[in-house]
Amino acid sequence: MSELRADSIIKSFGTKQVLTDVFVSCKKGEIVGLLGRNGSGKSTLLKIIFGSLSAESKMVQVDHKIIHKVSDSNQRINYLPQDRYLPSHLKIANVINIVCEPTQAKIVKNHRLVKSHLSKKSKQLSGGERRALEILLIIYSHNEFSLLDEPFNGIAPIYKDEIKDRIQERSKEKGFIITDHDYRNVLDIATKVILIHDGGTKLMDSTDDLRKWGYLS
């Protein structure tokens, strides 16, 4: 079974060490919830795993193949950043065709939030519509592991449940690592919860653990 392993990750910004010897793993079929307070290094960790951010030390592997930078993974890992990342000059139908295989592209194109906007450009969508499209593209891409940074941010509550369902459905085919400040949504679907605390990672067994480590009051 495919496995993504990120080990020995150390990252500092100036004199502040944000991540100290972090370990995270995700298997195909798993949804790993990554929680932590503001500034704890969640987004930094995802960017390091993805390969778009360097670190003082890191060992990222997918099935024992070491990944240093984005081009090493052969598109086995993809990443949903917090900010809008879709090319503003392309039509949405074109973007979907580029990112997804034909079968998955059909699913995304037929989604109720996307269907009526296929001939538009992403800059013509509202913030929520654009975010939903971005998430769907990442979820339905052919990559084996998807790293989602704040996927529920800007999404209407009515669509959050649907997105959670779709992530769960797609987790049969791939692995997910999700971080979001809306921790309830993460806990709803996560099969494993990891807390970043004082630069290290701790495996959480229950919400009591989250209280014990000071994430919840």
Query: Given the rule CB under 8 A, which residues bind another protein?
Result: 50-52, 69-71, 73-75, 78-79, 81, 83-90, 98-99, 138, 141, 143
Secondary structure element (H or E) that encloses residue 173, with its range: none
| CA distance from start to end of the chain | 37
Indicate the residue among 88 and 124 with the shorter CB distance to another protein.
88
Indicate the residue among 87 and 200 with the shorter CB distance to another protein.
87
Q: How far is the CB of 119 from another protein (least distance, A)?
A: 17
List Cα–Cα distances, 72 to 38, 83, 112, 192, 194, in angstroms.
30, 23, 35, 27, 26
Taking the C-alpha atoms of residue 81 and residue 57, their distance in angstroms, rounded to an integer, is 22
Taking the C-alpha atoms of residue 175 and residue 143, their distance in angstroms, rounded to an integer, is 9
Q: How far is the CB of 121 from another protein (least distance, A)?
A: 11
Q: How far is the CB of 204 from another protein (least distance, A)?
A: 29
Q: Which residues contact 205 (CB under 8 A, 6 or more apart)?
A: none
Q: How far is the CB of 193 from another protein (least distance, A)?
A: 26
Indicate the residue among 167 and 204 with the shorter CB distance to another protein.
167
**DSSP H helical ranges for the chain:** 42-50, 92-99, 102-109, 127-139, 157-170, 183-189, 207-212
Q: Cα angle vertex 163, ends 43, 121, to 5°?
A: 80
Indicate the residue among 44 and 201 with the shorter CB distance to another protein.
44
Indicate the residue among 50 and 176 with the shorter CB distance to another protein.
50
Q: How far is the CB of 173 from another protein (least distance, A)?
A: 17
Indicate the residue among 20 and 128 with the shorter CB distance to another protein.
128
Contact 206, 48 (CB under 8 A): no
Q: How far is the CB of 137 from another protein (least distance, A)?
A: 9
Taking the C-alpha atoms of residue 53 and residue 34, their distance in angstroms, rounded to an integer, is 18
